[in-house]
Amino acid sequence: MWLVLGLLAATVIFISYLVKLYLGRNADYWQKRGFTALHNDIPLFDVLLGKKFMWDCDMKYYETLGDRKFGGAVEFGTPVVFVKDLELAKNIFVKDFDHFVDRRVFGKDPVISESLFFLTGQK
């Protein structure tokens, strides 16, 4: 009985460790490139349990940026850039639109996911 519980506990700890390694694989992505790195202080469990929402994280990033025009964060292992400067955002969404693909997904709605703003890759 104790052997089974010990093996189960070891398996849970090992899987938790692997998940942490996977999610943290790009933790220094923005520092390596010399950009402002944003860190999230909101625990993942609060988001998963519905106590906090992803836009709470985005607001924390926005406040952390201060006077800087943009910064980068890593969400679930994926690098994400946050643009605060309106002129820079205009250049990205108008002039350089074709260089910024694979945007963040906001749900599985087929109408929204097929709009030009949310298309990925060559579509």
Per-residue pLDDT of 87-105, as tens digits, reads 988 888 777 766 666 666 6
Q: What is the DSSP string of 19-59?
A: HHHHHTTTTTHHHHTTPPBP---S-HHHHHTTSS-HHHHHH
Rounded to two decimals, the pTM is 0.59
Reported as a single tens digit per residue, the pLDDT across 41-74 is: 777 677 778 787 777 878 888 888 888 888 888 8
Please, is 108 exposed, middle or buried when counting C-beta atoms within 10 Å of its C-beta (0-12, 13-18, 19+)? exposed
Rounded to whole angstroms, the Cα distance separating 97 from 90 reads: 9
Report the pLDDT averaged over residues 101-117.
62
Higher per-residue pLDDT: 85 or 99: 85
For residue 17, the surrounding DSSP H or E stretch is: helix 2-23
Q: Which pair of tokens denotes residue 19?
A: 């998940």
Mean pLDDT score across all residues of the chain: 78
